[in-house]
Structures are given as structure tokens and as C-alpha cells.
Structure 1
Amino acid sequence: MLKISVNINLCVRCLVISNPHFRMFLRNKSSIAAGGTADALDGFVDNLMITKVNKWRSRRKIVQCDTFKKSISDCDVQLEEPILITHSTVDECIMKNFNSPKLTSILRNCLDKKLCPSKDLLLKLAQNFANVGNAEYIDVLISLHKVGHQIELNELEVYRILRAEAMWRSGESSEKSLNILWEIYKEQPALRRYVRSSLRVLISEVVLNRGEASLIQAKNFVLQIASPPYEDYLPLSYFWARCILSDCYADHQLAAELAEECKERELFKRALGSRIHSVIGEALSRHQIDAIHRLLETFLKLSMDNCSQHVLEKLFDYKYLLADVEGCDAVLEACSALGLDVGYTRRKELEKLRANKSSKFSFYHQKKEQKQKSDLKYKQVPKFKLKL
């Protein structure tokens, strides 16, 4: 059987988390290392399941965007039949052809005739063009907005944010996209939440697609926002969370470096605490127990006891749902070593689970013995008396 050894060196209050039952050991005032074994088949099945889930999620996302991509695949598509567009029917016409290859020609036609759709529809179109990486037609939408509406500064900056997203996704220039976002972040405090939302999506795509240059640029950008005078640690917490959840060892090291660099900053700890629920939920939904281990290790190093206890509670619940008594016991041992507690209710539920498993085990053995006895009866050769 293949043996997998995991060695983790931690500080005084840190744990070593090694095997699939989450066995932990604690030694005071010394660095520690522990090795554990795991079933190779279980690891293979888990990795295969995660790969399949990610594959179908990405395929579903591609299918959702595929229809809209077809509508802008050819910017020079000419209308086979002229469509009558008026001020009263422009919104209806665009919505009717929203997923049609005719959409781009209709927008050009509207610009030539100075027919402007509603603001909400223009923003919806801009978001879709940003998702598929088409910055050219976002410029067309800006021109349409100026034709029919008095464009305000905030509205123009929103279009610029979406245009930066489109440039990033098209591969035109990630550095230029970040410069646009940085300029808007500095000059428009009211739109900083919008910039954060855009960064969260872009950071996820960077970590997923493994673009090293873009990854470094994104890291420098979030560190710049986290520096005085802004001290906005939310984008940095997004970046840290994606690195924690990544399957790449280099990303794990990067997350550890960020935590070490900012460990004395209270605002950074608050930002990490605000992300704990979403990170734990995503990790457990994907059965990424290693990510939970990394998360707990980080909180222990940062002396965030409340967050550490929350991680252990959620891990206990996960093991309990799987009826993993040994895993639950390991979590309780870790809590005792760290001076934490998962609560009286969870302990009582574990005792019930242990009793149920023992009763099922004894019932199974009784049935097995009965079956063996019945099999022996069938195997016995009957004795016949020969009559002469």
C-alpha cells in the first residue's frame, strides 16, 4: 500500500495535521513533525471527484456564455432583413435579439440613428460584453449612453471598470486593466465597493488559470490597496482565500507568506475573519480537507482562537455527517490540546453516533454468525442407510 508522509513544522501553539482521520499532536516549545498514512485509492477517488466537479462547473459556465459569445463573434454581421427600430421599440428589439448574431449590427444601427436604449439595458449589455472580453462594444455602449442620456461621472467610471474587466479577459493588457482600476479606486471612493467586486472575480480567474505574471501583478495590486493611507484589506483577503483553496503548492506558500507579512495588522485579521464562513463552506463542499488544515494552521499562527475554534467546529460537523467517529475523536483531541471546545451538544451527538455504530456492529456480527451456521448446515453431507 502506498504511504503518504506529510511533515509540517509549526510554532509553539500549532498543530500537526497529517492523516485522513485528522490526527493531531502538540508538543510545547519545540517544532514538531508528524507523518501519516492515507489510502492511495481514497486519495485517487477524492481527486477524481474534485476534478470532475470542476470540469462540469467550468463546462456549465462556458455553456452560459457560449450563446452570447456567438452574438459578438463577427462584428461585421449584416442584417439579412432591415429591422425597423424606433425610440419606443429599441429596448424590445435589443432584448429580442440579445443572444442573436444580429445584436452587434443592431447596436451599430442604433448608434447611427441616435436611438438609445434604457440605462439598465445598457449596463446589462456592458456586463455581458465584459464577461466575454469584448472591450470594443463597451465603447459603443458608452457612445450610445451619451446619445440618449446625460452620462454622469459615476456611470462613466462603471463603464470603465467593466472595460478593464473585458481587457483583462481578452488578454489585451492585465497591467493596463489594473491601472484603470487603481485610478478609479483612488479618485472615486463611492465606487470602491464596485472595484472590490471586480477584483474578486478577476483574482479567482487568475489563480484558476495559473497566469504567473498576472498573479504577481494582482498580488502587488492588493498589497498596494492594503497599504496606507487606504488600508483596505478586503481585496488582500480575497487573494489569500483563493490561494488557500488552490491545488497548487506555490499558491499555498504565497498565502503563508502574506499571512506572515501582515500578522501584526489587526485590520488584516478582521478581513480574514470576515472570509472564514465562505472559505470553509467552499472547501468542505469540495471535500478539500487539506485546505481546512491550511486554514487552521494560519489562524493558529495568527493567534485567532475564535476563528480556530470555528474551523474545528465545522470540521467536526463534517466528520459527524460522514459518521467518522475516529475523525470526530481526533478533532476533540485537538480541541483539548489547544484549550478550545466544540460544545456540549456536539459531544453528546458524538456519543449517540458511537452507540449507534456499536449496536449496528453487533447486529451485523449476529447476522454474520447466523449466516455461517446456516451455510454449515447446507454443507453437511447427509447420511444414508443402504438397504440390502
Structure 2
Amino acid sequence: MNNMAFLTHRSLQSTYHWISLRNIWFINMVAGHGKSTNVDAIDSFISELMENKSLKWKVINDSKQQLLPRKAVEATEPVVSIPRKSQFRLTQIYDDLTSNPIVINIDQLEQYHIDNLVETAIKERNKKDVNLLFDQMNQYRKIPSKEVLCMLLEYLANDTDRVRLQLLMALCREVIPDFVTNSSNLLHYNGLLLWKNGSSLQSLNCFKESLRVCDSDTKLIINRMLIDVVDETIGKKSEAVLLAVIEVGEFCLQDLNDEFLLCYSWEKSFRSQWFSDQEVAKKLFDKHKKLRDAVAKRLPKICFICLQEFKTEQVYQLMELFLKHEMMPQCRQVLIRLFEYQYYRRDLRACSEIIRNSIELDIPLPDVCNRKLLNLLLGPAYHKSPTQTSVPKQKDKLKVKNYELKF
């Protein structure tokens, strides 16, 4: 009995020892895994903070903080901390950081710092930051440089924010009146806002009035805006709006001696898929000699764009327009480019047709076109040199006959 009791006691002791070791190993494994998980979570969070654009420098317009002294503001700046006794929570730190952005007071910043903040907010299309910056600019009566100021005016006009646009214009008249005077009283930004709101005719009238008195720098800005206006009109708006845009282009051509807008409108209408737009382009071409001269200067580029898109029919239509006004040098350029295009495609029939048309129209093409046509007619044999064709004959002459003797 004593031996049995001793054996039982030893067995229970060894079992208890094994269970204790297994529990210790399991606890260590869990603790190590938890530690690794926390470290990985912290690393992932730091990487997210570095890459997340929402945690960049923010601007906040808090009237209570602005009224406090500088030392008081610095003392009240938010500090992110993790309570020692609280449980680790990744989302809590993220919420603390995003709900307490870093405060920037532009009244204490240099102009190039303000330029950088405004330009970054506009390029990132961060409407909240733009509005916060604008509110401080309006409060402290400070504006960025002229280039960034034009970006901000155009951004507000595109955003159809009439209230802030009018406030910014009033601020410009107060701080830099010369800039406003030289920039046509900023009428073109009102025109852009009206265009985005759908008031097309009123918008074009604003652009027209602005073009009358603007300087060269402002004209570049207006032309860039009008490019977007034309792009949004061709094939998308009514014919009445298109005619109104063309009327502004004709005004620029006749009164300001600037053919840019009319040329751009003509090219977009000529290359449009709508027949009505193409008819408007043909009428414009017949009406304005200055437009025909301007198109002649841009002929290589227009042909290249059409042929790149495999639209040979448009190139033939352009040929007809030049023929109608007996512009033979331009017709010759069109024929040459058509021939090169068809020769690159190895289209013998099309190349022959172009050569025949040039003869009928009495528009001589370069000799190289005739040689290329022969190349297509004769094929690869036309490329053989005289030496290559004569060598086999010489070998035949020098070949020795073999005789078989029968004795």
C-alpha cells in the first residue's frame, strides 16, 4: 500500500509538472504574439501617417484661438498622448490626430509661404483648405502673389462660389488696384462663373468686354479660358451658343487683329463629327481671308492630326476648300501628304488616283512621288541593282561544260 501510494504521488507530481511547463510555454507564446502584433500595428500606423495626405499641414480659422496671446496659443496646442492604463487602440490615435489639426496663422507668415499653402490646396482640390485659407486672407487683408491669386480666382469661378469670388475681387481692389485695372477689372472671372452656371450668352459678353481693355498677359489667361469654352461647346451645346462663340472670335479677328480664337473654333468645328458644325466651318472659311491665311500656316499640323486618326475624307474636304479659293500651293501640300500616307500603307490604287488628280488639276508633284509609284507597280524586283542582275549571266558564261569519255 505504501508503494502504491508513493507511485501514485510521483505520477501526479510529474503530471502537474508537465501541465505547468505547457501552460508557461503557451503564455510565453501568446505574450510574444501580442507584442509582435502591437509592433506591427505601430509600424503600419506610422507608414500610414507618412503617406496619408489628409494629415498634412492644416489651416484652421478659430476666432477664440486667434484672440489669445501667442504663448497662450502655443500652450493650448493639442498634444497626442496615450494613457498608460488605457488599452492600446490604433483608431483612437488616428481620430485624435485628424480631429486636432496643426494650427497655422497666416498673419505671421511670409508671402511665399502663403503662396505655397494656397497653391497646394488648389492643386489637391481640397475645398476645405481653400476656404479656410480664404477666410484668413479676408480677415487679415492679405493676398498671395499675382500668379497664385489668378489661380485662386479661377478656382472660385470654376467652383461657382460667387460670394467668395466677389469678396476676393473686392479685396484685390483694395490691396492692389493697379492689378485689377490692368486685368480688365477681373471681368473674365465673372464670365467663367456665368459659363459654369449655364448663362452662356451673358458669359460671352463678359469675355468680350474683358478682351477690349486687357493687356497681353491677361489676354493669354482669357484665351486659355476660351479654349475650354470652345471645347465644351462643339458637339455639346446648341448651334446658337456655337454661333455666339464664333461671333466673339470674329470680334477678336476684326477689331483686335487676333485670329487665335476664330482659328481654334474653326478647326474644332471642321473636325467635328456633326454635319452642322462642319457647315459652319466651311462658311467661316469662305467668309474670312485672314482665317484662310491662318489655316494655311497650320496646314501641316491639321493634315497630320487628320491622317493620324485615319480621317482621309477630312483631308479631301480641306483640299476642296483650298481649290475653291484657288490656293494651289496649299493644294500641292495636301496632295503630297495624302500620297505619302497612302504609299506608307502600300495602297497602289490610292497612290495612282492621287497622281492622276495632280495631272488633271495641273498641280505637279515631286519626282520622288513618281519613283515611289513605280516601286509599288514593279514590286521588289525594281530594287535589284544592275550588278546583281549581271552576276548570274557572267557565271553562266564562265561555267565549264563537263564531257563524259566513252573509251
Match 1:324 to one of 342, 347, 366: 347
Q: Take 1:345 and 1:359, find their aligned partners in 2: how far apart are those partners?
A: 15
Q: How does 1:173-212 map to 2 (within 5 A)?
A: 173-188=199-214, 190=216, 195-212=222-239
Residue 3 of structure 1 is matched in structure 2 by: none
Give the aligned residue type for 2:296.
G
Counterpart position of 1:247:
273
- Write the deviation string for residues 270-314 of structure 1: whole angstroms up to 9, x where unpaired: 123233233223222222222112211111111111221111122
Deviations 1:60-110 (A, max 9, x none): xxxxxxxxxxxxxxxxxxx95344333323223223433123223322222
1:62-141 map, 5 Å: 81=101, 82-85=103-106, 86-88=108-110, 89-98=113-122, 99=124, 100-101=126-127, 102-129=129-156, 137-141=164-168
Quote the sequence identity (%).
19
How far apart, in 2, do the equivalents of 1:239 and 1:219 lie? 7
Contact map agreement 1:237 1:275 (CA 8 A) in 2: no
Deviation string 1:138-175 (CA, Å, 9 cap, x unpaired) is: 4454345446545424653284324423432332x111
1:284 counterpart = 2:311: no
Kindly provide the amino acid, as one letter, of the partner of residue 91 in structure 1: D
Q: Report the Cα distance in structure 2 between the residues aligned to 1:331 and 1:158, rounded to whole angstroms.
A: 55
After the TM superposition, which residues 329-348 of structure 1 pair with which residues of structure 2 at under 5 Å, given as runs?
329-348=352-371
User: Offset at 1:347?
Assistant: 3.2
* Structure 2 residue 259 is matched with structure 1 residue 237: no
Contact 2:115 2:148 in 1 (8 A): yes
Q: CA deviation at 1:126?
A: 3.5
Aligned partners of 2:191 and 2:207 also within 8 Å: yes
Q: Which of 326-335 and 134-143 deviates more?
A: 134-143
- Does the C-alpha gap of structure 1 residues 194 and 92 become closer, same or farther in structure 2, counting only changes over 3 Å? closer
Residue in structure 2 matched with residue 220 of structure 1 by the alignment: 247
The letter of the residue matching 1:84 is N
Amino acid at match of 2:105: L
Post-superposition CA distance 1:160-192 (Å, at most 9, x none): 324423432332x11111111222233347455
What displacement does 1:247 show?
0.5
Quick check: 158-167 or 322-331, which moved more? 158-167
Distance 1:230 1:95 in 2: 33
Letter of the structure 1 residue corresponding to residue 272 of structure 2: S
Matches within 5 A, 1:28-39: none
Paired position in structure 2 for 1:295: 318
- Is the partner of 1:97 in helix, strand or coil? helix
Report which stretch shifted further, 351-360 or 92-101: 351-360
Q: Looking at secondary structure, tell me which structure has more helix per residue.
A: 2
Query: For 1:224 and 1:252, how far apart are their aligned partners in 2?
Result: 21
1:315 positional shift: 1.6
Q: 1:344 to 1:125 in 2, by over 3 A?
A: farther
Q: 3-state SS of the aligned residue for 1:246?
A: coil
Q: Secondary structure at the match of 1:168?
A: helix
- Structure 1 unaligned regions, length at least 5: 1-78, 361-388
In the alignment, is the contact (CA less than 8 A) between 1:241 and 1:275 conserved in 2?
A: no
Alignment RMSD? 3.3
Shift of the 216–134 alpha-carbon distance from structure 1 to 2, 3 Å rule, reads: farther
Secondary structure at the counterpart of residue 208 of structure 1: coil
In structure 2, distance between residues paired with 1:135 and 1:256:
39
**Match for 1:307: what amino acid?**
Q
1:215 Cα deviation (Å)? 1.2
Provide TM-score, normalisation by structure 1: 0.61
d(CA) in 1 for partners of 2:164 and 2:365?
54
Specify whether residues 333 and 154 from structure 1 end up closer, same or farther in structure 2 by C-alpha distance, changes over 3 A only.
farther
Distance 1:121 1:220, change over 3 A: closer
Q: Name the CA distance, whole Å, in 1 between partners of 2:345 and 2:163.
A: 51
Distance 2:292 2:379 in 1: 41
* Structure 1 residue matching 2:285: 3-state secondary structure: helix
1:138-149 correspondence to structure 2 within 5 Å: 138-143=165-170, 145-146=172-173, 149=176
Distance 2:160 2:352 in 1: 50
TM-fit CA distance, 1:248 = 0.7
Distance 1:319 1:107 in 2: 58
Change (3 A) 1:199 1:342: farther
- Structure 2 vs 1, CA of residues 134 and 356 (structure 1 numbering), >3 Å: closer, same or farther? farther
The amino acid across from 1:90 in the alignment is: I
Does the CA-based 8 Å contact 1:114-1:144 persist in structure 2?
yes
Distance change in 2, residues 1:103/1:293 (3 Å): same
How many residues matched?
278
Decide whether aligned partners of structure 1 residues 214 and 266 sit closer, same or farther in structure 2, where only a CA change above 3 A counts.
closer
What are the Cα deviations for residues 232-279 of structure 1, in whole angstroms up to 9, with x where unaligned?
Answer: 55433332222210111111222222333x1xx543321232332332
Tell me which amino acid in the other structure corresponds to 1:324.
Answer: D
Alpha-carbon distance between aligned partners in 2 of 1:132 and 1:358, rounded to the nearest angstrom: 66
Please say if residues 230 and 265 of structure 2, whose CA atoms lie closer than 8 Å, have aligned partners that are also in contact.
yes
Aligned partners of 2:182 and 2:336: how far apart in 1?
45
